[in-house]
Amino acid sequence: MREGTFSLLALARPRAPWMAELTRWANSGAVEVDLIRCVSVDEVRARLGSLQSFSALVIDENCIGLDRDLLGAATDAGCASLVITAGIARREWLGLGADRTLNDAFARDELLSALRAIAVPMTPPEHPLAVVDLVDLAAQPSAPLLAVSGAGGSGTSTIALALALALPGCALVDAALDASLALLVGNVDVVPGLQELVDAHRTGTPSPDEIRHTLQPCPSHRISLLPGLRRHRDWTALRPRAIDATITSLRRAFPVVVADIDNDLEGESETGSFDIADRNALARQIALVADAVVITGRPDLAGLSRMVSTVSNFLDLGVEPDRLIPVVMRLPRCMLSASEIRRSITALIEEVRPAATIATASVLEPPKDLDAILLDGLPLPKAFTDQVFNAVPERLRSAAAPSNSQEPVAILPGSLGIAS
């Protein structure tokens, strides 16, 4: 009888022989394990605190940070702990909360025997995450998804934040490989974040309540933030199908979703590299399903050139022209008028893509103290967020705008009449 697959978190000192052997067994299928190699105790804690469940933590006793608290965190998460020792254990790990110890020269059968004794395989029927019925999912409507992209330094994150602020209750997703939205909204936790939510969708479908609890609340901004990757290289942990499922879950858990994505859309067909396709999977997959993609640019020679190049990249990906919305922030030092900027963008796009009909660019006037507002983590002025929201086509504004039926109405003196 075939047993279920064990989901393992593993952490070892550099170049530990037992980790290399365990990796070889996992890759060859010699042991039925889904192995996730961690680089630090902090990453172990972050994964234990995510929505994903694990069968066991396999950790070297020489790892800095291995203590009673870490073993207790594993126990609280329903994850067994297996400490790998070198001969005589340095501490009484069982007394500190470990479920079992194993000599670092363990054989395959010894590892399997230990896992069967202390851990639970992550088979689908036993997975602890709430699984939503697929029939019910199909019947649920998907909320509008608005993506924001552009070249570096063009105000992409600021526009994404402004658009989210115009939609109270919005889920703001930092899907850029170099995440920065957490800096703009003030002091928020970055764990759990995008990586943990995508990991949770590898083996299950979290419920809408679990999705909402994963995002970080930003009370002063009236939005919920999904922090992005903590390190650029963490894109290697994101799998395409799990990304698709995550996007779908977010659109069913929130009334509207705004995502900040990169403008690098190259895939396997353009480069011949599956690695590049996986690296850009976040931006590519969000852009293909978004109801609209706002393209940001700077009002200078290099900025407009990069903006037109970005528009061309999205068209090459397969995004329809009527879903692309060019937006430029006109800074005070800009010598061009708003009408000159619009004419320049239209002419450049027509020259590169004569058959594509793109919406006329919107030119925004940001507040003069924009840098100070962002530095203090304050909400952007309503006058500016309204400009960003009005740049979105009417069909999307009506679908994304929240209902005001539940909003309280202020009672002014005398408005209720005079008591008789």
pLDDT digits (tens, 9 = 90+) for 228-270: 999 999 998 888 888 988 999 999 999 999 999 999 999 988 8
**CATH class of the region 134-400:** alpha beta
| Confidence (pTM) | 0.66
DSSP character at residue 126: G
H helix count then E strand count, the chain: 19, 13
Residue 129 has pLDDT above 60, yes or no: no
**Domain extent listing, the chain:** 6-126, 134-400
| Mean pLDDT confidence for 181-207 | 85
- Confidence band of 308 (pLDDT split at 50, 70, 90): very high
The pLDDT of residue 350 is 92
- Confidence band of 91 (pLDDT split at 50, 70, 90): confident
| Mean pLDDT confidence for 199-224 | 87
Task: Tell me whether the CATH fold assigned to 6-126 matches the one assigned to 134-400.
Answer: yes
CA 276 to chain centre: 18
| Mean pLDDT confidence for 95-101 | 91
Q: Which helix (H) or strand (E) holds 217?
A: strand 216-218
The pLDDT of residue 30 is 87
Greater confidence (97 vs 134) lies with 97
Fold for 6-126, please state it.
Rossmann fold (3.40.50)
Closest CA relative to residue 399, chosen from 249, 287, 291:
291
Residue 168 has pLDDT above 70, yes or no: yes
Does the N-terminal peptide bond of residue 408 adopt cis geometry, omega within 30 degrees of 0? no
- Confidence band of 411 (pLDDT split at 50, 70, 90): low
Q: Which helix (H) or strand (E) holds 382?
A: helix 382-390
pLDDT digits (tens, 9 = 90+) for 9-31: 999 998 899 999 999 999 888 88
What single string gives the DSSP state of each residue in 236-294? GG--HHHHHHHHHHHHHHSS-EEEE--S----HHHHS-HHHHHHTHHHHHHHHH-SEEE
